[in-house]
Each structure stands twice: as structure tokens, then as C-alpha cells.
Chain A
Amino acid sequence: MTMKTNKPSRIQTNAERADAIMADLMPKPFGLSGKIWVVVLSAIFLLGLFFYVEQFRFGLGITAMRDYSTWGIYISNFVFFVAISLVGSLISAILKLTGVKWRTPLTRISEMIAVASIIFAALVIIVDMGRPDRFLNVLLHARIQSPITWDVIVITTYLTISLLLFYLPLIPDFALMRDRFKGPAWQIKIYTWLALGWSNLPGQEKILRRSEQILAVLIIPVAFGIHTVTSWLFATTLRPGWDSNNFGPYFVSGAFMVGAGGVIAAMYIFRTHYSNWSKYLTDKHFDRMGRLLVLLSLVYLYFNINEYFVPAYKMKGQEAEHLKALFFGRYAPLFWSVQVFGMIVPIILLLFPKGRKPLPIFLISILVIVGAWFKRFLIVIPTLSHPYIPMDRVPESWQHYLPTFKEWSITAGTLAGALLIITFIARFLPAIPVVETIEEADPNHVEPGIE
């Protein structure tokens, strides 16, 4: 059997440049700050796990959830995780298919965030279950008419596609690390196994490019699906604040916005943590992401106006009570803080080029992320405090929802867990695609097309 000859590798022809890029981007052991970061996150995660064990033993009674507020910060957190996971499809698929060339150093960061978030979105649902030992019943006795069943299906599908979209572009990098990485033998052994015998063969490259392209197309409807179905968990319920036709696009646009914010924050942290990464995550990347974030925030603002202005114009029945609580009542400080600091202020600041410089845009993205988390709180909790049937003759504690310390700890534990996944991926895998960066650094590089 005759084999096709390898085409000369571009890496070999640009050896010096490639070596410099590899030296910059290859995974490195944790430094002191990295170790402190891991210890702090692990401590938060373990505290959350400790209280979850207590919740597992004694039930959801350790939370503040009662007969009315049956969904608390666990579900807010779940919606947040699903939302931020959409960034994978935004950067790896939408920007790829629209031919945006500056996306290369952002793709893996966005996929890392997507994979970590969607894993914890699935886990948080189990955390929210009073009897997690019965989780399999959700699958075994699934009712296909229920949006919860659709959500389970679409989360599993999105996680699988995200993992593939994360893994496929990594194959050439695994091969590179197999050949060039200087480190423990076990690590090289794993890289070798995951590299699948990658040798830059034309056949391999063709299959890889084609598979990536197919996945990039496939993930977009699934990404829209995952957050639309999540919004339907609320919108198919007759509740003030949830009974809305606007919920699908409202959730999807909000998800893209927080996802973009998440990538910007991660970009800044990587750029400041690793020396020389400012060559790859340049001011230009922050500027472009800033422009994208403004666009996404404006779209989200538009859906927010639809979501609140139209019912506020009518102020009908129980819906009015809900809106008054948001606008002027006990949730007003949080509501207006989220709308102003999580959306309006970022839009205004990002319109100015100085606002899109790395440090300012990092701080703005933190505002966006924190605002987005509390926005999910505002979507879930106030509605449950305003049921159509009046709260009569019920204990005082049932009438309000104030999460317990244990609930906050478990929630913080899940957030720390997701950050730990991202941290360990960056510890053992290149957070910026190395081979792709080397290829793009070649002055003769031509963007490969689909044959």
C-alpha cells in the first residue's frame, strides 16, 4: 500500500517563529499566583461540596426554598451557566462562519468557558433536586411534552457538540505537544493518545477542516435551542413575569452578551497572567470584542424594553404587583443596579475607544457578568413571590425568599468549580491554538477553504 507524501510542514519552514510562539503558548506549571488561585477556588468548591453533602443527607430544607419559592438561586445559577456557555457558539461558530479572522486566539478560551459552564449547568440541576437519587427517572419516565425533557435533551446535545468543537481543533496542538513538549512522561503519553496519530497528512487535514465546519454549522441551532428551551421552562408557565412571548430571544440575546463579557474577562486574566501573551491577545482583540459587546448589549436592551415596557404600559392584575416590586418595591435597588450598571453603563462606556482598552473593558465585562448573574436572580425569584393565588395562612418564612448561607456556599462552589475546570484546562492545554497561530503568523498563509 502506498501512502501519499506529506506536504512540507509550514512549521518546519518557519521554525524560528514557530519556536517562539510555542515557547509563549505551550502549557506551563502554575506559578505562585496560579497556586494561590487554585487553592482559593478549591477551598470555595470544597465548602460548597461540604454543604451539598449536608443537603444530600437532610434535603432541601437547608435552603430557603419553600412552597412558593420552589426555585431559588440554584435555578438562577443554572440559567446563568447556560447563558454564558453560549459564547462557544458565538466565537467558534458564528465568527468562524462569518469569516472573522481575529477570532483565532479567542476560540479556545470561549470553548473552555462553554464546556466548563455547560458541565456545571447540568450539575446545578441535580443540585436543585430534592431527591437526586431519582435523577434517572427524569430520563426513564420522560414526558416528551415537557420543556424539562427538552432541556435535558438539548443540554446533553450541546455539551457533546461543545466537547467535540473543543477537541477537534486541539488535535494538531496535541500532536505538536506530543513531539515538542518537555515535561512529565505521563503528560506526553496522554497528548500522544489524544493526538490520534496526527501527522499533518492532507487526508487528516481535510477531514478535520470539514468536521469543524459541520460542527460550526450544527452548534448554532443547538445553541439557540438550549437557551430558548431554558426560557420556555419559564415562559410555558402561567406566572406574572414569565408569561411572555419575548422570552426566547430575550434569553438568547442576554446569553450572547454575558458570554462575550466572559471571554473578555478571561482574555484579560490570561494576558496579564502569562508573559508575552499581549502579542496574541492584543489591544485590537479587546477593541473588537468591545464593539461586539456593544452590539450584543444593544440587542439585549431592545428585548429588555419589550420585556418590561409593554406589560408596564398595561399594568394588568398580578403582573402589576410583580412589576411594582421590581420598579419601586423590595427588588428595585437590585433591578435598577442590574439594568444601569450591567447594561446601560457598559453600552455608554464601550462606545468610546478608551473604554475598549484592556483594563477598562475588563472592568466593564466584570460589571456585565455580575449584572447578568443577578439578572437571572431577578427573572426567577420575584415572580415566585407573586403567585396568582394569594398567600393566605402560610408561615412568614414562606412569603419571602432570602437564600441561606449554605445555599450561597453551594452556589459559590459551583462557580468556583467551573473556574477550576477552566484553570486546569489552561494548565495542561494551550489556551490559545498554537498550530493555528503559527500558521497565521506565516506571511504566505492562506486561509484554508472547504473542498
Chain B
Amino acid sequence: MNNIRASIQYLVLLCITHLPGFATAQSVNDTTTTAKSEASIELLYTESNNNSKILTVTVKAKVGEDYVGVEGAVVGFFMTEAIPENSLGNSTTNDKGVAVLVVPLEKLGALRANYTFVASIENNTTVEDQQEEITVSESNLNMSLEEVDSVRQVVITLQTTDAAGNTIPAADVEVRLFVQRMFGLLPLSSDPQLTDEQGEITLEFPAAIPGDTAGNLVVVAKVDEHELFGNLDFRKKIRWGVPLVIDHNKNIRELWSSRENAPYYLIILVNSMLIGIWGVIAYIVFQVFRIRKLGRQKVA
């Protein structure tokens, strides 16, 4: 019998000690693993409304046939090359393997035509050392929204800086126009538009797009993953939407209404049943205490 008890204890111990190990063996965060995984690192540049420059790094490690995000890796960001004096800051990857850094503008120095950013992982316990760099040109994406002769016009302008530091138009760049919706961006045209020689695109803004209760819309111009400029977007709020009118007549008390508009008969019915049945249950629990009370009286 003792052997059986010992076997069971061994099995339980085996489960406790080995199951968690098996669980984390699949994970790329296992710090006890000595062999480092092959890593892939992707660096993206995003600029919003010409006032924030954001570097986004995605670090992935090879697990089996797949690449999965590496969590908790410290990524160093640098200007031009990965040396301490060029450091822009560090950021740690999240559970998807993504680390984000908002570039401190004071560290960029004087205006120039191009910027080279470097992301680097060194001495990580999980993945091998990696570096990735991206070079982007200085850019300026703007959008004006005007109503001319009852026609709503969107004028998008994209400019860049040449080697001499002069501002020049950026021609032949694909720009897309969107309207912000609750769960994403609604494209206003199926194909992207190209900037002309003046770096401009002029579009007519469609009517009858629903806005908020005041008719506000957020119009978004975007350049996606351009080889020179990276990702750019420019957002502007304007009262060009159809104001949302909430029809309070729809808030009638029906079975298919929201929870605030449940029919009274249902509220009364369900609550009556609940009170009735749970009242009886409470009565029975009270009776259980009466049984105990009688028992105590006898002892006394």
C-alpha cells in the first residue's frame, strides 16, 4: 500500500514539476534556455500631423516553423549608428513583440534632408543580437479643407527638403484619404491618389457621410510605407458630416430593445419569480438554522 501511495505522490510531483516546464518550453521567453533563437526585426517610421515621429520595432523569434513575438526584449534606438552618444532611448517589447519609441525631437538636431534611425537588440537571453536601420526623408504632409461654391474640396500637400535645406514639392507619392469611423478608417476612394508636380492632390469630398451629433468628421490623409517617407498621416476635424439624430422613439420597451428598455411585464415577471423562488430558498435556509438552534437548546 505504501508503494502505491509513493507512486501516486511521485506522479503528482511529476505533474507539478513537469507540466509548467512543458508549458514554457514552447515559449520564447524561457530565460533558462541557453540556445538563442534566430530573430527577425522590423523597423517602421511613422509621422503624425508633422509633430510626432514614432519608431516601431517588431521583434520575432523562430519557434518551430513560425516566427512569434518576443516579449520583454529591450530595444535600443539610435540616430545614424548604434553608438551610445547617438542614443534616442530604449523601449521594451510587449507580448506581441512590439516596442515603440516617440523620437525626442530635441535629439534630432538641425533640420536635414534625411534621417537614419537604427534599432538594436544586444545581449538578449532569448534571441541573437540584431540591428535594423531605416532612412527617411524630411517631409511635411498637410491638408486643407475648403468649401468653394458649395463644393467641398480637400487639398493635400506633400513637401520634402532637399540637400541644401530647401523645401520642395514631393511629386508622384501615393496618398489615400479616409474618414475616421468607430472601428477603423473608411476609405473615400478605392485607389490611392498621386501627388502632382506641385506635390498636391485636390479631391472633392463626398456628401452624406454621417458624423457625430454635431456633424463632426475626422478626415485623414495617409501615406503608407513609402520608401522615402515611411508612414505619414494628417488628421483634421471638420463639420462636414450629416449630424446624427438619435430617434428617441426607438427607445420603446420591447423584447428586442436595449437592457434599459426591457418591457415592464418581463421585469415584473422575472423579478416575481426570482423573489418567489429565492424567498422559499431563504425560508429553507432559515429552517436549517432552526434545526441547529433546537439542537443547541437540547445540549444546554
> What residues of chain A have their CB less than 8 Å away from a CB belonging to chain B?
1, 3, 32, 35, 39, 43, 46, 50, 53-54, 141-145, 150, 153, 157, 160-161, 164, 167-168, 171, 195-199, 201, 203-204, 207-208, 210-211, 214-215, 218, 222
Sampled A-B contacts (22; CB under 8 Å)? A3-B297, A3-B298, A35-B8, A43-B11, A46-B19, A50-B19, A141-B259, A145-B256, A145-B259, A145-B262, A157-B281, A161-B281, A164-B281, A196-B291, A197-B291, A198-B291, A198-B295, A203-B294, A211-B284, A214-B283, A218-B280, A218-B281
Partner of A204, one of B266, B283, B291: B291
Once the chains are docked, how many angstroms separate the CA of A142 from the CA of B266?
A: 14
Q: Are A144 and B19 in contact (CB under 8 A)?
A: no
B267 at the interface (CB under 8 A from A): yes
- Nearest-Cβ distance from residue B157 to partner chain A, whole angstroms: 39
The reply to whether B11 and A197 form a contact with Cβ atoms under 8 Å apart is no
Name which of B257, B280, B284, B296 has the most chain A CB atoms within 10 A of its CB. B284
* Nearest CB of B to A227, in Å: 16
Identify which of B281, B285, B291, B299 contacts A171 (C-beta below 8 A).
Answer: B291
Number of B positions contacting A (CB below 8 A)? 35
B11 contacts across to A, CB distance below 8 A: 39, 43
Cα of A214 to Cα of B276 in the assembled complex, Å: 13
Q: Which residue of B lies closest to A39 (CB)?
A: B8
Chain B residues with Cβ below 8 Å from A203 are 294
Q: Which residues between 9 and 38 of chain B lie within 8 Å of chain A, taking CB atoms? A: 11, 15, 19, 23
Known: A46-B15, A141-B259, A143-B258. A210 touches B287 (CB 8 A): yes
| Minimum C-beta distance from A221 to chain B (A) | 8
* A199 vs B294: C-alpha distance when bound (angstroms): 9
Which residues of B have CB within 8 Å of A164?
Answer: 281, 284-285
B135 CB → nearest A CB, Å? 37
- Cβ contacts under 8 Å, A201 to chain B: 294-295, 298
Shortest A38–chain B CB gap in Å is: 9
Contacts of A145 in B (CB 8 A): 255-257, 259, 262-263, 266
From 229 to 265 in chain B, residues with beta carbon under 8 angstroms from any chain A beta carbon are: 255-259, 262-263
Q: Which residues of chain A are within 8 angstroms of B228 by Cβ–Cβ distance?
A: none
Are A207 and B290 in contact, with the CB atoms below 8 A? yes
- Closest A residue to B253 by CB, please name it: A145
Nearest chain A CB to B259's CB is how many angstroms away?
A: 4
Contacts of A144 in B (CB 8 A): 259, 262, 266-267, 270
B225 to chain A, nearest CB (A): 26
- Inter-chain CA distance A168–B292, complex, in Å, is 12
B105 contacts the other chain (CB 8 A)? no
Q: Contacts A35-B4, A210-B287, A218-B280: A197 and B259 contacting too (C-beta < 8 A)?
A: no
B255: which A residues are within 8 A, CB to CB?
A: 145
- Is B115 at the interface (CB under 8 A from chain A)? no
Across the A-B interface, give the 9 residue pairs with the lowest CB-CB distance, nearest first. Answer: A197-B295, A143-B259, A196-B292, A144-B262, A211-B287, A145-B255, A203-B294, A204-B291, A211-B284
Taking CB atoms, residues of chain A closer than 8 Å to B23 are 50, 53-54
B185 contacts A by Cβ under 8 Å: no
* Least CB distance, A189 to chain B, in whole angstroms: 16
Query: Is the CB–CB distance between A157 and B277 below 8 Å?
Result: yes
Which residues of chain A come closer than 8 Å to B298, judged between CB atoms? 3, 197, 199, 201
Q: Is B288 an interface residue (CB 8 A)?
A: yes
CB-nearest residue of chain B relative to A171? B291
Q: Would A211 and B288 count as touching, CB distance under 8 A?
A: yes
Residue B278 at the chain A interface, CB threshold 8 Å: yes
A1/B297 in contact, CB under 8 A: yes
Q: Kindly list chain A residues whose C-beta atoms are within 8 Å of the C-beta of B63.
A: none
Asked whether B274 is an interface residue with its Cβ less than 8 Å from the other chain, the reply is: yes
Asked if A142 and B259 sit within 8 Å, CB to CB, the answer is: yes
Query: Which residue of A is nearest B11, CB measured?
Result: A39
B288–A204 touching, CB < 8 Å: no
Chain A nearest Cβ from B46, distance in angstroms: 28
Rounded to whole Å, the gap between the CB of B288 and the closest CB of chain A is: 7
Which residues of chain A have C-beta atoms less than 8 A from B277's C-beta? 157, 218, 222
Other-chain residue from B262, B278, B285, B296 in contact with A157 (beta carbon distance below 8 A): B278
Residues of B within 8 A of A32 (CB): 4
User: In the complex, what residues of A have CB within 8 A of residue B270's CB?
Assistant: 144, 150, 153
Q: Which of B4, B280, B287, B299 contacts A207 (CB 8 A)?
A: B287
Q: In whole Å, how far is A405's beta carbon from the nearest beta carbon of chain B? A: 15
Which chain A residue lies CB-closest to B296?
A: A197
Contact B295 A204 (CB under 8 A): yes
The smallest C-beta distance from B71 to any residue of chain A, in angstroms, reads 12
Closest to A145 in B: B255
In Å, the complex CA distance between A196 and B291 comes to: 7
Residues of B within 8 A of A208 (CB): 291
Q: Which of A141, A196, A215, A222 contacts B295 (CB 8 A)?
A: A196
Determine the chain A residues whose CB is within 8 A of the CB of B19 once the complex forms. Answer: 46, 50
Once the chains are docked, how many angstroms separate the CA of A198 from the CA of B297? 11
List of A residues within 8 angstroms of B299 by Cβ: 197
- Measured CA separation A298–B296 after assembly (Å): 51
- Let me know if B259 and A196 touch, CB within 8 A: no
Distance of B22 from chain A, by nearest CB (Å)? 8
How distant is the Cα of A171 from the Cα of B290 in the complex, in angstroms?
13
Residues of chain A lying within 8 A (CB to CB) of residue B256: 145
